[in-house]
A and B are shown apart, each in its own frame.
Chain A
Amino acid sequence: MSLEYRIAYKAENQYEHPVKEARWQFLICPHEEEGQKVTSFSFGNSLNFPYEVSTNAYGFTTMRILAKAEFKHISFEADFNVLKTAASPFDFDLPLDPVEDLQRYQNLHFRVEFEPFLRRTQLTTLLEQHSKFFEYRKEKTVFENLVDLNRWVFEKIFYTPGVTHVNTTLDEIVENRHGVCQDFAHLFAAVARQFGIPCRYVSGYLHQGNGYFGDSQMHAWNEAFIQDVGWIGFDPTNNILTGENHIKVAHGKDYADCAPLKGILYSKGENTTNHSVQVHGQQQQ
């Protein structure tokens, strides 16, 4: 069974003073991977600047625009059609010995291989006293513990748009208990990595048809590495494993590796950006 989605991405930028030169990089194109295929896409902007398709340092598709003209306002629109193949996230066997399971994560070879996703970054650093709140249960497998962690993060933070920003520290978020999907994903990653479990931050789109949390912007979740299985998606904002409703764009160590829009402006003054995302789905045979 496969599902087809239509994703409409819109961004609008408003500048206080005229911009003379700018360069933007969009990281919004759904990633081509197993079970996920982009069948068509279009991309444009209100001033008709040409764009080029490239890849960023981590190998994800980007669209770049080089603008040389004077303007104070510009809007961008992208449309993607994505075909998802539904797969059951539980399609694997749990290891028999939980202690041995966790030990395999301590193997040097393994830690070297997964070093980037075990690393504490600025956005995934948590004070010791805060991470202690979640208790890792040795009698359970790594996967089961991650499921617990998923729920713990979900219960720890109240989904509240607008109270946090890019510079809010994780410790502040844990103390105030309010945040958006990025914050959920950072918290999940921070704790998982503390137990030595490689964890990625994932940026993408969520089909909200089933009443999931997430506003009309891009969504964020996690992927953690399970021995003998591979990367498994966890969505702590909704306390679910990821499935056919999650359309991945990119992954990285944290938000900084996955920012959907980066702009370099040669202008002074303030600017504002508004994003909106709509995901429509329909089932196919």
Chain B
Amino acid sequence: MAAKDHTIFSSYQRDPALFDELYDEKGEVKNIYKTLFDLYGSHSIEDYMRLNEKAKSSFFNQGITFQVYGDKDSQEKIFPFDLFPRIIDPAEWEVIEKGAIQRSRALNLFLWDIYHDKKILKQGVVPLELVSSSENYLHQMMDVDPPGGIYNHISGTDIIKHNDGKYYVLEDNIRCPSGVSYVISNRTALKRALFGVFNHYQAYTVTNYAENLLELLETVKPKGVDSPNTVVITPGMYNSAFYEHSYLAKTMGVELVEGRDLYVENDFVYMRTIKGPEKVDIIYRRIDDQFMDPLEFRSDSALGVPGLFSAYKKGNVTLANAPGTGVADDKAVYTYMPEIIKYYLDEEPILNNVHTYHCSRKEELAYVLEHIPELVVKPVDEAGGYGISIGNKLTKEEIEKVKKQIAENPRKYVAQPIMSLSVHPTYIDETNSFEQRHVDLRTFTILGKDREFVLKGGLTRVALRRGNLVVNSSQGGGSKDTWVLKH
């Protein structure tokens, strides 16, 4: 079936250099997309525009909005949402799911090791400098046994499909990965706008995330607690992810607290309720390590709870994720993931890692400085897509600037070949038509004691600007509903 038969796809232009997920090798619409293609194609442009506007106002009325860091007017914005869903084939999903679990498990064992015996460092499998130069390596966590032995309860794995058709992991986010609420609100918005399409596809539900999160968190409750009292802690309503924090608290049916709602007495944590103090056992924290406890970390932080860390160290409260997970979230650690997986699990990595050049190594630094136009240069310790330079998008002056930055502080940078993210048809407001846009996928994995859960779906993030490869919402990215089909 050719695209021109369909009104809203009639102007869809395919760049042969890009890997378009809609089509197979022969250039035909893939089987799993055929029905969807027909269903969407039956809409006129006007129809589709109307649906699109409706979906937008649905987000706005639900107050599913965020604010961009450092934005002066800090206007509320909706996270742009694309109505054309991404479909993941069951066989492919199986690989992703197994791969995500494998990585989370390996990272958890890595964290346990570097905060206990440090065997991997002593045997030189990964360099000592990996942790010794990381500000996220918390000595306060040395020899602390987190309840159930779990550090990274919640991991967000960013995965792309390269033009070789294979999935690659770009990043493991194990500090406070966000975005899961958008997975659910995307599904809701799509159902509201185009419920009919769900009659033709059997996709896994995504609304079971919160109940699984609560269940798995309860498997790592502190010792001696029968029915644990769980809370979600947020920096407050002006945080860009506040909607998500309140969504999770609400769907888990637990309290959403701020630092000032909690206090520590005799190394137990309590919250201040209208009926007096109530003990808290499990805290799903959405504030960073450094802001958690002003007595142990940054003393100027008003977000945290004084004494929280000593309550944690005594084993009286579970923190998820555990303090100090940030060290394994470092982009430099990512580059050793194949070694880490092999070392702890004695397995081959299921998901590919992108080859990484370490600017801290002399030979690799030389290569990077010579090949900037072919590489993506990233600072190892920045989140949210800040500070990334994509080589083939840089002017001559910019290349020189990047070179200078790297040369001044090589340890701060890693470089990777420019991966070409797959593209997916995305409706563009400005042109009122579908265009190819780059996408990635963030999966959400929860580790509990001897159990794990991967949300069947995940957040497909779209770089809305033509040719752009950075999909982060803070960089103008949008998202799509993502269907994992049942067998």
Which residues of A are in contact with B by a Cβ distance under 8 Å? 23, 25, 52, 54-58, 62, 64, 66, 108-109, 111-113, 115-116, 118-119, 253, 262, 264
Knowing A23-B306, A23-B307, A66-B265, the reply to whether A56 touches B132 (Cβ < 8 A) is no
Nearest CB to that of A53 among chain B residues? B266
Are B310 and A262 in contact, CB atoms less than 8 angstroms apart? Answer: no
Residues of B within 8 A of A (CB): 118, 121-122, 124, 128, 131-132, 139-140, 142, 263, 265-267, 294-296, 299, 306-307, 309-310, 313-314
Knowing A57-B313, A115-B128 touch, does A23 contact B265 (C-beta < 8 A)? no
B266, A112: Cβ atoms closer than 8 Å: no
B310 touches A55 (CB 8 A): yes
Q: Which residue of A23, A25, A108, A253 contacts B139 across the interface (Cβ within 8 Å)?
A: A253
Evaluate contact between A109 and B122: CB separation under 8 angstroms: yes
Which of chain B's residues has its CB closest to A253's CB? B139
**Contact status B295-A52, CB under 8 Å:** no
Contact B139 A264 (CB under 8 A): no
Q: Are B128 and A66 in contact (CB under 8 A)?
A: no
Across the interface, which residues of A come within 8 angstroms of B309, CB to CB? 57
Report Cα–Cα, A55/B267, bound state, in Å. Answer: 9
B295 and A264 form a contact (CB under 8 A): yes
B265 touching A52 by the CB < 8 A rule? Answer: yes
**Which of B122, B140, B295 has the largest count of A CB atoms less than 10 A from its CB?**
B295
Closest beta carbon of chain A to B14's beta carbon, Å: 53
Closest 8 CB pairs of A and B: A57-B140, A112-B121, A23-B306, A116-B139, A112-B122, A264-B306, A109-B122, A25-B295
In the complex, which of the residues B132, B265, B307 contacts A119, with contact meaning CB atoms closer than 8 Å? B132
Q: Which residues of A sit under 8 angstroms from B121, Cβ to Cβ?
A: 108, 112, 115
A52 to B311, CA, bound (A): 13
Q: Which residue of chain B lies nearest to A252 when distances are taken between CB atoms in the complex?
A: B139
Q: Are A112 and B118 in contact (CB under 8 A)?
A: yes
A58 near B263 with CB under 8 A, answer: no
Q: Is A108 within 8 A of B124, CB to CB?
A: yes
Nearest A residue (CB) for B139: A116
Complex: how many Å from CA A127 to CA B296?
Answer: 28
- With a cutoff of 8 Å between Cβ atoms, the chain A residues found around residue B307 in the complex are 23, 25, 54, 64
Given A64-B307, A109-B122, A264-B306, the answer on whether A52 and B296 have CB atoms closer than 8 Å is: no
CA A54 – CA B267 in complex, angstroms?
A: 7
Q: How far is the CA of A114 from the CA of B132 in the complex (A)?
A: 10
B167 → A minimal CB distance (Å)? 34
B46 → A minimal CB distance (Å): 57
Chain B residues near A56: list those with CB within 8 A. 295-296, 310
Q: Could you write out 17 A-B pairs with CB less than 8 Å apart?
A: A25-B307, A52-B266, A54-B307, A54-B314, A56-B296, A57-B139, A57-B310, A66-B265, A108-B121, A109-B122, A111-B128, A115-B118, A115-B132, A116-B139, A116-B142, A262-B294, A262-B299
* Cα separation A262 to B265 with both chains bound (whole Å): 17
**In the complex, A213 Cα to B188 Cα: how many Å?**
71
Residues of A contacting B263 in the complex (Cβ-Cβ under 8 angstroms): 66
With both chains docked as a complex, state the minimum distance between the C-beta of B116 and any C-beta of chain A, in angstroms.
12
Contacts A54-B267, A57-B313, A58-B140 given; does A113 touch B118 at CB 8 Å: yes
Complex contact A23–B295 (CB within 8 A) = yes
Who on chain B is nearest to A50 by CB?
B265
Measured CB to CB, the closest approach of chain A to B411, in angstroms, equals 12
Known contacts A23-B307, A119-B132; A108/B295 CB under 8 A: no
List of B residues within 8 angstroms of A23 by Cβ? 295, 306-307
Given contacts A57-B313, A115-B128, whether A262 and B139 have CB atoms under 8 Å apart is no
Asked, given contacts A112-B118, A253-B139, A262-B295, whether A118 binds B132 with beta carbons under 8 Å apart, the answer is: yes
Residues of A contacting B142 with CB < 8 Å?
116
Pick from A55, A111, A112, A119: contact of B313, CB under 8 Å: A55
Beyond A55-B313, A116-B139: 6 further Cβ-contacts under 8 Å?
A57-B139, A57-B309, A108-B121, A112-B121, A115-B132, A264-B294
Nearest-neighbour CB distance to chain B for A23, whole angstroms, equals 4
CB distance from A88 to the nearest CB of B (A): 32
CB distance from B138 to the nearest CB of A (A): 8
Report chain B residues within 8 Å CB of A113. 118, 122
Contacts of A262 in B (CB 8 A): 294-295, 299
CB distance from B336 to the nearest CB of A (A): 15
In angstroms, how far is the closest chain B Cβ from the Cβ of A60?
11
Assembled-state Cα–Cα distance A244/B132 (Å): 34
Q: In the complex, which residues of chain A have a beta carbon less than 8 angstroms from the beta carbon of B295?
A: 23, 25, 56, 64, 262, 264
The residue in chain A whose Cβ has the minimal distance to the Cβ of B121 is A112
A115 to B141, CA, bound (A): 14
Please, which residues of chain A bring their CB within 8 A of the CB of B265? 52, 66
Report B-chain residues with C-beta under 8 Å of the C-beta of A119: 132
List B contacts of A112 (CB < 8 A): 118, 121-122, 128
Complex Cα distance, B310 from A55, in Å, reads 7
| Minimum distance in angstroms from B215 CB to a CB of chain A | 30
Least Cβ distance of A284 to chain B in Å? Answer: 35
Residues of A within 8 A of B128 (CB): 108, 111-112, 115
Which residue of the partner chain A has the closest CB to B301?
A264
Task: Find chain A residues with CB under 8 A from B267 CB.
Answer: 52, 54
- CB neighbours (8 Å) of A58 from chain B are 139-140
The answer to whether B296 and A57 have CB atoms under 8 Å apart is yes
> Measured between C-beta atoms, what is the minimum distance from B264 to chain A in Å?
8
> Closest approach, in angstroms, between the C-beta of A121 and any C-beta of chain B?
10
Which of B122, B294, B299 is close to A108, meaning CB atoms less than 8 Å apart?
B122
Cα distance A57–B132 when bound, in Å?
Answer: 19
- A6 vs B16: C-alpha distance in the bound complex, in angstroms? 83
Q: Which one of B124, B140, B307 has the highest number of Cβ atoms from chain A below 10 Å of its Cβ?
A: B307
Chain A residue at smallest Cβ distance from B131: A115
Closest A residue to B143 by CB, please name it. Answer: A59
Nearest B residue to A55, CB-CB: B310
Chain B nearest Cβ from A259, distance in angstroms: 9
- Which residues of chain B are within 8 angstroms of A108 by Cβ–Cβ distance? 121-122, 124, 128
Closest to B260 in A: A266
Shortest CB-to-CB span from A14 to chain B, Å, is 19
| Assembly CA distance A109 to B299 (angstroms) | 34
Expressed in whole angstroms, the Cα–Cα distance for A64 and B295 within the complex equals 10
State A147–B243 Cα separation when bound (angstroms): 59
Report the Cα distance A62→B309, complex, angstroms. Answer: 13
Residues of the B chain whose Cβ atoms lie less than 8 Å from the Cβ of A62: 310
Q: In the complex the two chains form, what is the Cα distance from A115 to B121 in whole Å?
A: 11
Residue of A nearest to B310 (CB): A54
A113 to chain B, nearest CB (A): 7
Q: Which of B124, B309, B313 has the most CB of A within 10 A?
A: B313
- A58 to B265 Cα, complex, angstroms: 19
Cα-based distance from A25 to B266 in the complex (angstroms): 13
Neighbouring A residues of B124 by C-beta, 8 Å = 108
